[in-house]
A = this chain, B = another copy of it.
Amino acid sequence: MSPSKAPRKDPGPGGRPRLTREAVLSAALKLVGSEGLEALTMRRLGQELGVDPMSLYRYAANRAALLDGVTELVLNELAISPEDRDWQAQLRRIAHDLRLLALRHPNVVPLLVTRPLSTPLGLRPLGTLRPLEKILSLLTGAGFGAVNALHVYRAYYGFLYGHILNELQEFVVDTEEHEALLRLGLHRLPAREFPRLRALAPALADYDGGAELDQGLSILLSGLASRLPSAPEQDSHPPNTADSPSA
């Protein structure tokens, strides 16, 4: 239809370049990353781009749509290649990638888990549905039936998101102060009611999220593998009747 969807022309180094959706979104992401979600207001973002706040509404219908755009942008950083046949290794890699992604954009994580809650599955931005489709493809390629692939996906992604939330809850930016602040905070707790939690201060202080994720995944994946019609992996469970776990 229209021969050019990109901004018409580079106006040269003199004029301010035309706004783009990508420019708006990445500026928004940058702002969220450096100053938190609440700093992302239309006025502030406009100021950051040297542009009237109202201009932004050409590139996102809403503030909500803007947030959706940011989550999409972040999720696009996640690479999934459904060709690989070793599904367990793939899921492991994806999990660690997503974990690192979350650690790289901690302020966006609330969006990642919250936005889908207010948007029915079919109406989400495509970018947020792509991982789901690709993982389904990966699983069916590995031998899972369609419905079973969905169940496996749910267990896997659920655990993954849960872990990320867990880890980010304990994450404190300033690692210098981390332990001190932790002790201080825990010390505030009534000793009688919270003996175990208080005693765990040192263990809480050094938390290896990657390792913990990996161990959880080991448990989960080997358990899930037993759902394969003919378990070809190193597992030795008896093969289950697959694909219709419930009548």
Contact = CB atoms under 8 A, between A and B. Distances in A.
Interface of A: 106, 109-110, 113-114, 116-117, 120-123, 126, 129-130, 132-133, 136-137, 140, 146-147, 149-151, 154-155, 157-163, 165-166, 168-170, 172, 181-190, 193-197, 199-200, 203-204, 208, 211-212, 215-216, 218-220, 222-224, 245-246
Nearest to A147: B203
A46 B197 CA distance: 37
A216 B154 CA distance: 9
Given A129-B197, A219-B219, A161 B166 contact: yes
A73 B220 CA distance: 32
B121 A110 contact: no
Contacts of A165: 113, 117, 158, 161-162
A168 B117 contact: yes
23 contacts: A110-B113, A120-B181, A120-B182, A121-B182, A122-B181, A122-B183, A129-B189, A133-B196, A136-B197, A146-B199, A151-B215, A154-B163, A154-B166, A154-B212, A155-B163, A159-B162, A160-B162, A211-B245, A211-B246, A215-B245, A220-B220, A222-B223, A223-B223
Given A161-B166, A166-B157, A215-B155, A197 B132 contact: yes
Contacts of A212: 151, 154-155
Contact of A220 (B183, B184, B219): B219
